[in-house]
Structures are given as C-alpha cells and as structure tokens.
Amino acid sequence: MSTKHPLQKLFSLMTWGVMAALILTSLAGQFFPEAKLQNIAYWVIAVAIFSPTVLLIANGIRFVRQKSWQSAAAVGGIVLILVASIIIGLS
C-alpha cells in the first residue's frame, strides 16, 4: 500500500473544505438570526453528510480503472443502498 495514495488529495480537499465550512458557519452563527443560521447550517450539514459518498464514488471509479471488479461491485451496492436510504428518508 503506497503512502502517497492518489485519493489523498481528494480526501484532504473534502476534509479541509467541510471543516472550514463548519467552523465559519459556527462563528458566523453568533451574528445571524437563528432562522437564517438554521438554513445555512442545514446545507453545511447536508454537504458534510454527503462527503463520504463523494469519496466512495471516487474510490469506485478507481476500482473500475484498476479492473478490481469485486470492490467496484461492492461500491456499486453501497451506492444503491445510499440511494435507498434517501428514498426511505423522503417517503
């Protein structure tokens, strides 16, 4: 396993992006009315929740490129379950 993983940059980008959004929203929350903070925070939280899915899909694409079909199929199955979770949540 290489210590310089090709996905490392994407992981760092997502992590720092989400972390910065959470910190800035928390700080800005002191100056916003609660209703507005609630609205902004909802979207920040939604992005945070979807972040692992983005990383998972990126991994799935890598598995396909490497012809690692068992792992790619597993990722495909997980994505289907995540879609099912959204449908369950919305119903």
Candidates 33, 36, 65, 81: give the one binding other proteins (CB under 8 A). 81
Q: Quick one: angle between helices 69-90 and 34-65, nearest 10?
A: 150
- Sequence-distant contacts of 69-74: CB under 8 A, at least 24 apart: none
Residue pair 58/12 in contact by the 8 Å Cβ criterion: no
Q: List residues near other proteins by CB under 8 A.
A: 1-3, 5, 7-8, 11-12, 14-15, 18-19, 22-23, 25-26, 29, 34, 37-38, 41-42, 44-46, 48-53, 55-56, 59-60, 62-63, 68, 70-71, 74-75, 77-78, 81-82, 84-86, 88-90
